[in-house]
Structure 1
Amino acid sequence: MASEPIIALPAGWPAMSLADATARLTAPGMKFEMEMADINGVSTRVWKNAPPSLRWLVEASRGHGARDFTVYEGERVTFEAHFRAVVALAHHLVELGVGKGDRVAIAMRNLPEWPLAFFAVTAIGAIAVPLNAWWTGGELEYGLSDSGARVLIVDAERHARLRDRYDSLPALEHVLVARVDAPPTGKARALDSVVGPTGAWGELPDRPLPPATIATDDDATIFYTSGTTGAPKGALGTHRNLMTNILSGGFSAARAYLRRGEMPPEPTPRVLLTVIPLFHVTACSATMMGVLATGSTMVFMRKWDTVRAMELIEREKVNLTGGVPTIAWQLLEHPDRGRYDLSSLEAIAYGGAPSAPELVRRIYEEFGALPGNGWGMTETMATVTSHTAEDYLNRPDSAGPPVAAADLKIVAEDGVTELPVGTIGELWARGPMIVKGYWNKPEATAETFVDGWVRTGDLARIDEEGFVFIVDRAKDMVLRGGENIYSIEVENVLYAHPAVTDCALVGIPHRTLGEEPAAVVHLCPGCQASEAELQAWVRERLAAFKVPVAIRFCAEPLPRNANGKILKKDLKALFADRVSAAA
């Protein structure tokens, strides 16, 4: 089952095989040279030149000086100002008694204070615990309790959800509140009283970070899984996990140049419109680490709005954006797109959700930008595979090949047998990006992490060149009368219909077949399509048993969690009439 290229690729492409490009980039003495390291008793291939720690990274980032690090609602924070604020907050945390291994939670929207808090915490050897800003007060309380956080750094909105719950969290000793109107009381105090407003960060004292000894494999973060089923689990990450992404991202970009027959240029600063939340590994690990390394700029939005995004792309000359496919679709489909100069866009990349081949083509043809995708998860601290440029145009339904420091395999249901090329099974991943395990959950850790490998729960196949094709989440596959229906296959066909911009396939109960496929779709503005029309569209392209037996239409894009994953369990309620009839 081969991919079909989206466009006619240049003659002579690829100029170099993946194996040859990897060999050249990772040769001794090269930037992407690898070596072996012992990680938790497992000999692991790692990037030799990866930065040693988050502390090292934030200290090095000071060298970018007066370049803008963050832009938010008219506020501009330079790398120098950010570093001075990190130092001030780090000293304050030490004065509060925070030390190596202590947990400090962060709960706020994308604000300049978010990276400030993250680097101040990790630079002193404490563990940053980014909490989902979309969570309710009860869910935030769970994260604080489960992690045993001693300090919480929070914005005013999350503070309002939590302030009546602080007394029920005995481990929580201090709360620092950003952007609060009135002085907080009790455990809480204003973050401004420690570092001042963002506009004054550059005037803070010039002094070094507090002393701290940090090893590459020391604990650094607890990112909570999306929790689409059951309570979220805290994935315990290390400094190495996050630093790996800097080299992984650079390697993927360099590999694309070699495949094109060009020499990779030295990294240059870029401007990114960062719309995915920083509490997700895609934004924090895969994006922000590279921003500090290259002196790039992150432009934040208070909340996603397509028109506001186009205004910012034009004003800030944004080079890169994305996050999840929905963002790209909304930029493409907006009727006012022609009013804005979006010519600065060089790439639109996304992860966290599958994308339709049709989206890949339209990004390239209508924006003149290169699409980008990849595969990773909270447990891999983001990037394991990376899919960019012509390789993506050539295999638009793939998640790309793994980066050189990662290994992948497809394993049968017995959890032991490795399956041959092209066979669908569970995807397992190994490398320096894999987290240590789950915080305080030894049984779940033992079930998911095996001898350096993580069992992903994704069903996938790998082709003869190493390109990965994610077929489905194991729990999302629809089993109809013994026949497997992989939702992504049906969703890609629906996405190819000119009226469909968002869709999901779900399984609904059936008395004799067990399950049947049903779909939920969102149409582009001004577009029309009937259930029968879409069913016929699928029937012309796929086997009859894969055709949705029912299609429901949503006026808005489908509900997603903060990580960009469609909440399929919420969509099943739209088919309650059919479920009751099947009972």
Structure 2
Amino acid sequence: MAADAAPAWPAMTIAQANEMLAQPGTPLAVAEGEINGVTMRYYPEAPPTLRFLVEASQAHGERTFLVYENERVTFNAHWRAVSHFAHVLKSEFNVQKGDRVAIIMRNYPQWPVAFFAALSIGAIATPMNSWWTGEELEYGLQNAGVKVAVVDPQIFERMREHMSGLSDLEAVIIARETEEERNNPRVHNFESFMGEPNSWADLENKGLPEIDLGPDDDATIMYTSGTTGKPKGALATHRAVISNFLNSMTCQARMFLRRGEQPPEPDPNEQRATLLSIPFFHATGSFAVLIPTLLRGDKIVSMYKWDAGKALPIIEAEKISTIGGVPAIAWQVLEHPDRDKYDLSSILAVSYGGAPSAPELVATIKKRFPEAMPGNGWGMTETCATATLNIGEDYVHRPTSAGAPPKAVELKVVSPDGDTLPPGEVGELWCKSPANCKGYWNRPDATAETFKDGWVVTGDLARLDEDGFLFLVDRAKDMLIRGGENIYCIEVENALYDHPAVMDASVVGIPHKVLGEEVGAVVQLKPGKSVTQDELRAHVASQLAAFKVPVEIKFQDEPLPRNANGKILKPALREQFAPRS
């Protein structure tokens, strides 16, 4: 082999790379011990608390941290705002360790300030869905027993008529308020304490109030998406949230070892920028993006509402290096008719999760952005986001996989009888990790069903291959049963995605008098592309058994309906189909 030739790939197995990264004394070392009464693997060198990370962020100084329209907040300004608001919560509203502080607003710069201020004084930061109705907000605030809520004006308007039923809620602090007076002693104005984001650099550097805080203290309550039933509040510790980004860092470093390279040292002169298309209140937005960005000294750019056409000039102007969220967002940028009008050469990573993605997406990313690294992963609210990550050559070679876990994460596939299944067999996925939540807030029944001796029972149907790579098959509850035959929706969706005209697709069950269910699909086509229902059915039939082919396909021009967490709202799609007989 020539001296300058690339080494054969992979240079080492997943297990070998995991072991090398987990050596004692290294930043990603893995040990085994007892955490909250459960024996598990964990990261002994991890930062102790999220407060520690906030204090450390001062080192990034005058780098820009947050950008929203004409508002730009440096790390120094953010630190001053967090420390200032921490004192406000403590002195003005008597927030104590363990009190719940809700953050409910769009991705404004005030969101991270309220989030990190609450965490830094030992309160339990409780993000809530900014898409919720007034009734849903009342449920969440009651369920968590929230003491202080930091909201934007739109959220307050939805909350207003429900205030009388929220006896635990002592104060509502409205950010970006236009009205001076609310005539309610419980309602306050964020800017009266803090000023506007562009002035935060002028705030006094107060430092954080003293508090005794440890890795296994409660940190966050993050609500599940609640596509069925009431949302559940997943309670996580500081250790769990921090372990999430160490999981990701291990998978990223492992990619270089698999190439035969050493992971690069961080370049102090390089600052990456993420165009955030998902909400901060989602585990991915806060745990997998916001917190690692604070740690690395990178930049987050937010939009009022995601729009691929409006995103293109932002990517050029802000030199965005990372885009993504869910696969549909990646497709919208890749296929936008104005894409070639802008310089998008700064993009180095296109990452996504939360929904099935077509294998073609990987090839399209490499074609459009040769320098960009595609990435996909798996995680859930209950695992504090990232449990596996599939990037680089591993993703190119296994485009239908969600990646292999780092050493600290254990996965197993379980049969209905509770037996662990061998590689290749489909069953329910269980996950054990230091990033797992403790349980559901005030829901002992649901906690007992989902959290078992350190394992999260995910409800996902999956298989693992011989190397430990995870392949998601479907949600156990969303699987279709046609005449006694199991049909995994993701399998049909992948066949639809494989057609070059399809940008987004979702498979749902159509009630059938005799068969129970038949397969229906709703599809959004790429701009300028066309295909008939018969042509698309024939395409699926060329890959799958006849009983898996959709009997009816609906086409729509607008994106498929999703909740704020990026999950497709299948109940809304099912309404488009009439029962069959």
- Scaled by the length of structure 1, the TM-score of the pair is 0.96
User: Aligned to 1:310, which of 298, 309, 312?
Assistant: 312
Corresponding residue of 1:265 = 264
1:229-268 paired onto structure 2 within 5 Å: 229-268=228-267
Query: Does 1:410 pair with 2:438?
Result: no
Instruction: Name the residue aligned to 1:513.
Output: 515
Distance 2:106 2:534 in 1: 42
Pick aligned residue for 2:39 from 18, 37, 43: 43
Per-residue CA distance 1:478-512 (angstroms, 9 max, x = gap): 11112111111111111111111010111112222
Match of 2:373 among 370, 374, 382: 370
Q: Distance in 2 between matches of 1:166 and 1:441?
A: 24
Amino acid across the alignment from 1:345 = I
Counterparts of 2:246 and 2:212, CA distance in 1: 23
Alignment of 1:94-133 (within 5 A): 94-95=90-91, 96-133=93-130
Q: Secondary structure at the match of 2:402?
A: coil
**SS of structure 2 residue aligned to 1:207:** coil
Q: Does the 8 Å CA contact 2:273/2:321 hold for their aligned counterparts?
A: yes
Judging changes above 3 Å, is the alpha-carbon distance between structure 1 residues 52 and 11 closer, same or farther for their aligned structure 2 residues? closer
Contact 2:101 2:150 in 1 (8 A): yes
Poorly superposed stretches of 4+, deviation over 4 Å: none
Between 515-524 and 23-32, report the one with greater CA deviation.
Answer: 23-32
Counterpart-to-counterpart distance in 2, 1:327 and 1:252: 23
What residue in structure 1 maps to residue 133 of structure 2? Answer: 136
CA distance in 2, matches of 1:420, 1:44: 22
Aligned residues: 570
Q: Which amino acid aligns with 1:311?
A: P
How does 1:455-534 map onto structure 2 within 5 Å? 455-534=457-536
Residue 391 of structure 2 aligns to which amino acid in structure 1?
Answer: T
Kindly state the Cα deviation for residue 184 of structure 1 after the two structures are TM-superposed: 3.9
What pairs up with 1:379-394 in 2 under 5 angstroms?
379-394=382-397
- Cα deviation digits, residues 19-42 of structure 1 (max 9, x gap): 111121111222211122322210
> What CA deviation, in whole Å up to 9, does each residue of 1:374-399 have, x standing for no partner?
00000000011111011001000000
Which residue pairs with 1:222 in the alignment?
221
Is the 8 Å Cα contact of residues 50 and 246 (structure 1) preserved in structure 2? no
Between the aligned partners of 1:16 and 1:538, the Cα distance in structure 2 is: 37
Question: Is the 8 Å Cα contact of residues 63 and 74 (structure 2) preserved in structure 1?
Answer: yes
Distance in 1 between residues matched to 2:274 and 2:331, nearest whole Å: 18
Q: 2:448 aligns with which of 430, 446, 449?
A: 446
Choose from 322, 325, 340 the match for 1:323: 325
- Find the residue that maps to 1:164 and give its secondary structure: helix
Query: Contact (CA 8 Å) 1:245, 1:290: kept in 2 or not?
Result: no
From 266, 278, 281, the counterpart of 1:279: 281
Q: State the AA in 2 paired with 1:177.
A: I
TM-score normalised over the length of structure 2: 0.97
Q: Give, as a single letter, the amino acid of the residue that structure 2 aligns with 1:202.
A: A
From 10, 13, 16, the equivalent of 1:14 is 10
Distance 1:184 1:16, change over 3 A: farther
Aligned partner of 1:153 in structure 2 is: 150
Residue in 2 that maps onto 1:6: none
Following TM superposition, by how much is the alpha carbon of 1:531 offset from its aligned partner in structure 2, in angstroms? 0.9
Map Cα deviations across residues 520-572 of structure 1 (whole Å, 9 max, x no partner).
10111222111111101111111111100111111211100111111111101
Q: Distance between the aligned counterparts of 1:419 and 1:23, measured in 2?
A: 24
Looking at structure 1, the residues matched to 406 and 193 of structure 2 have their Cα atoms a distance apart, in angstroms, of 41
CA offset digits 1:121-140 (Å, max 9, x no partner): 01000011100011111111
Runs of 5+ consecutive residues of structure 1 not aligned to the other structure = 1-8
Q: For residue 179 of structure 1, what is the aligned residue in structure 2?
A: 176
SS at match of 1:522: strand
Quote the residue 1:338 is aligned against: 340
1:359 to 358, 361, 379: 361
Which residue in the other structure is 2:423 paired with?
A: 421
Quote the Cα distance in structure 1 between the aligned partners of 2:510 and 2:310. 38
Q: Which residue of structure 2 lines up, in the alignment, with residue 75 of structure 1?
A: 71
The answer to whether the 8 Å contact 1:412/1:418 transfers is yes
Q: Distance in 2 between matches of 1:157 and 1:534?
A: 42
Say whether residues 1:199 and 2:198 are aligned partners. Answer: yes
Q: Would the aligned equivalents of 2:19 and 2:407 in 1 still touch at CA under 8 Å? A: no
The runs of 5 or more residues in structure 2 that have no matched partner are none
Superposed CA RMSD? 1.2
Task: Give how far 1:180 is off.
Answer: 0.7
CA contact (8 A) 1:249 1:290 kept: no
Q: Which amino acid aligns with 2:344?
A: L
Q: 1-side partners of 2:424 and 2:259: how far apart? A: 26
Q: Deviations over 1:80-100 (max 9, x none)?
A: 111111111111111111101
The residue matched to 1:504 in structure 2 has which SS?
strand
Counterpart contact for 1:522–1:554, Cα < 8 Å: yes
Asked whether the 8 Å contact 2:395–2:401 carries over to 1, the reply is yes
Identical columns (%): 56
SS at match of 1:223: strand
Aligned amino acid, residue 115 of structure 1: P
The amino acid that maps onto 1:19 is A
